[in-house]
Amino acid sequence: MAFLHAQIEGKIAVITINRPPANALSQELLLELDEMLTEFSTNDDVRVIVIRGEGKFFCAGADIREFTTIGSQEKAYELARNGQQLMDKIEQYPKPIIASIHGAALGGGLELAMGCHIRLVSENAILGLPELSLGIIPGFAGTQRLPKYVGEQIALEMMITSEPISGTEACQYGLALRAFPEEKLFEETMKLAEKFASKSPASVKAVINLLKYTKTEQFAEGIEQEAKWFSEVFRTEDAKEGIQAFIEKRKPNFVGK
Active site residue 131: yes
Q: Give the closest residue to 17 by CA, choosing from 27, 8, 32, 9.
A: 32
DSSP letter string, 41-94: HT-TT--EEEEEESTT-SB--B-HHHHTT--SHHHHHHHHHHHHHHHHHHHT-S
Amino acid, single-letter form, for residue 133: S
Type of residue found at 36: M
Contact 27, 74 (CB under 8 A): no
Catalytic site includes residue 111: yes
Of the residues 32, 131, 169, 226, which is catalytic?
131
State which amino acid sits at residue 43: N
List the catalytic residue out of 91, 111, 169, 226. 111
Q: With H, G, I as helix, E, B as strand and everything else as coil, classify residue 135.
A: coil
213 Cβ neighbours under 8 A, 6+ residues apart: none
Q: Give the residue among 88, 227, 198, 60 at the shortest CA–CA distance from 145.
A: 88
Active site residue ranges: 111, 131
